[in-house]
């Protein structure tokens, strides 16, 4: 009788694991609280009305339509009972022989409840739609009432100078410059300010000095005001409070400043490291467990190359998932397992049209060539041919027309 593997989470890690596991050896169940996979690197383009949510959201059942013996359950997992090999879900319980946890991460607010309750985040398609609706409604409000003079309506604050923050700031700056003036001709666009606040001394701190330098140049050319070595301490009544004592009035605070792993009840405190990540060995086996594995953002794995754990990025999740699936295939056949070793292929970020930075191990690029590479590699990661084509057409249209027709406010009146 085949052993039962339960995979929790249909992100990059969960999808990659299922694509590599041998279904002739195992009975596999995939469980997720959503019915679709989300392509997180392009959330900011949904938020800035450059592409539609459906372009980066992929129904799980459609992805695995050709795998007849994969069981898919839409449900939220609440707790792990490792003694009985059971998951407690919102619909009941689910048993397993092997458990693979790939729940990803969520925004880190550093225990600041005020910011957590009011700031926008970019960790889901729904988050991106909320931001898009908010931005468009804000401009409709300004357009409707010409007497609005509050700076809070015109200031957009993005916290975090990583790839998400930089790309979001660049996208909003291009909207301000090229797109919204066509829709709202009477709004004083010179009043609109986009702030990017970074706690360190530079943006894209995990990339090369060249990438840091040119990302700053590109952002400033687009009119983004960058504030370095500064922390946001509070956000209330449309005021962003900074550690230095400064204040920025704003109705729009987008928090892109950190990540922490999603947690499940059932594990002991000593099984966690910083950032709520489960401590794992080189085969992704959770410490203290015999049949529970953690992947991607949930996994804290120390290696000689990464003594403080791996970066919480998609490539790590994908490669850990592939290695684990191959190891479980070998385990069933009593073959020797392979320890995980991550090879960093590079980092990249785009700041707008013809503006990007790319770090490979052998070369660093900027500008138009880097932008083309960024587009090509992201298109290759998109799951379906149809979605690749839709996104490419949208990008091409935006490139030649400096416009998109995707500025729809979609929300319930309730």
Q: Which stretches within 348-384 are classed as H helix?
A: 367-381
What CATH number has the domain bearing residue 80? 3.50.50.60
Range list of H helices, 184-266: 209-221
Within this chain, do residues 205 and 312 fall inside the same structural domain, yes or no? no
* Alpha-carbon gap, residue 303 to 323, rounded angstroms: 15
Residue 54 lies in a domain: no
Backbone angles phi, psi at 98, to 5 degrees: -130, 135
Q: What is the pLDDT of residue 1?
A: 83
Sign of CA dihedral 80, 86, 87, 89: negative
Asked whether residue 143 falls in the same domain as residue 233, the answer is yes
Query: For residue 414, what pLDDT is reported?
Result: 57
Of 304, 332, 360, the domain-final residue = 332
Residues 252 and 176 both lie in one domain: yes
Domain that holds residue 235: 113-257+346-401
Q: Looking at the structure, do residues 222 and 371 belong to the same domain, yes or no?
A: yes
Residues 228 and 283 reside in one and the same domain = no
Residue 143 lies in a domain: yes
Residues 102, 13 share a domain: yes
- Output the six-digit token pair for 190: 């010179």
**What is the C-alpha end-to-end distance of the chain, expressed in Å?**
51
Report angle CA 113, 114, 115 to the nearest 5 degrees: 95
Residue 260 pLDDT > 70:
yes
> Domain check: are 126 and 223 in the same one?
yes
300, 332, 364 — which closes off a domain?
Answer: 332
Q: What is the CATH number of the domain that holds 127?
A: 3.50.50.100
Confidence of residue 384 (pLDDT cuts 50, 70, 90): confident
Q: What is the pLDDT of residues 83-118, one digit of tens each?
A: 999 999 999 999 999 999 999 999 999 989 999 999
The tens digit of pLDDT for each residue in 7-34 reads 999 999 999 999 999 999 999 999 999 9
Is 84 in the same domain as 20? yes
For residue 161, the number of C-alpha atoms closer than 13 Å in the C-beta half-sphere is: 28
Distance of alpha carbon 401 from alpha carbon 44, whole angstroms: 20
Closest CA to 139 of 194, 183, 196: 183
User: In the predicted model, is pLDDT for residue 379 greater than 60?
Assistant: yes
Number of domains in the chain: 2
Same domain, 213 and 270: no
Domain membership of residue 53 (yes or no) is: no
> Is residue 127 in some structural domain?
yes
Could you list the beta-strand ranges (E) of 353-404.
Answer: 355-359, 364-366
Flag whether 63 is in a domain: no
pLDDT for the residue numbered 287 = 97
| Residue 208 shares a structural domain with residue 227 | yes
Same domain assignment for residues 143 and 196: yes
Residue 143: its pLDDT value, please?
Answer: 82
Residues in the chain: 414
Select from 301, 332, 363 the last residue of a domain.
332
- Answer whether residue 70 is part of any domain: no
Residue 199 lies in a domain: yes
Let me know whether 154 and 274 are in one domain: no
pLDDT at position 405 is: 54
């Amino acid at each position: 009788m085949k052993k039962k593997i339960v995979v929790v989470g249909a992100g990059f890690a969960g999808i990659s694991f299922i694509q590599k596991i041998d279904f002739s050896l195992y009975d596999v169940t995939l469980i997720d609280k959503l019915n679709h996979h989300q392509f997180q690197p392009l959330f900011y383009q949904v938020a800035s009305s450059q592409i539609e949510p459906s372009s980066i959201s992929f129904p799980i059942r459609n992805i695995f339509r050709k795998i007849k013996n994969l069981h898919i359950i839409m449900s939220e997992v609440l707790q792990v009972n490792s003694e009985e090999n059971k998951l407690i879900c919102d619909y009941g319980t689910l048993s397993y022989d092997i458990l693979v946890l790939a729940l990803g991460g969520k925004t880190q607010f550093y225990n600041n409840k005020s910011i957590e309750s009011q700031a926008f985040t970019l960790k889901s398609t729904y988050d991106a739609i909320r931001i898009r609706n908010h931005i468009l409604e804000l401009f409709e409000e300004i357009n409707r009432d010409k007497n609005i003079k509050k700076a809070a309506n015109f200031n957009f604050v993005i916290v975090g100078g990583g790839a998400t923050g930089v790309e979001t700031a660049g996208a909003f700056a291009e909207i301000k410059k090229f797109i919204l003036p066509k829709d709202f001709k009477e709004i004083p666009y010179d009043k609109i300010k986009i702030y990017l606040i970074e706690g360190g001394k530079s943006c894209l701190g995990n990339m090369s000095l060249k990438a840091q330098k040119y990302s700053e140049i590109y952002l400033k050319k687009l009119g983004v005001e960058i504030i370095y070595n500064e922390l946001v301490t509070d956000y209330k009544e449309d005021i962003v409070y900074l550690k230095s004592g400064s204040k920025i009035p704003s109705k729009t605070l987008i928090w892109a400043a950190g990540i922490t792993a999603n947690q499940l009840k059932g594990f002991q405190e000593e099984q966690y490291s910083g950032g709520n990540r489960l401590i794992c060995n080189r085969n992704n086996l959770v410490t203290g467990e015999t049949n529970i594995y953690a992947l991607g953002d949930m996994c804290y794995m120390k290696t000689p190359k990464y003594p403080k754990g791996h970066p919480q990025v998609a490539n790590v999740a994908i490669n850990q998932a592939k290695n684990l699936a191959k190891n479980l295939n070998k385990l069933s056949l009593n073959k020797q397992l392979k320890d995980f070793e991550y090879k960093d292929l590079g980092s990249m970020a785009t700041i707008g049209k013809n503006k990007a930075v790319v770090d490979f191990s052998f070369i660093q690029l900027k500008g138009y060539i880097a932008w083309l590479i960024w587009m090509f590699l992201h298109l290759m990661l998109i799951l379906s041919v149809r979605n690749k084509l839709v996104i490419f057409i949208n990008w091409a249209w935006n490139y030649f027309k400096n416009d998109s027709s995707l500025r729809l406010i979609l929300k319930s009146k309730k």
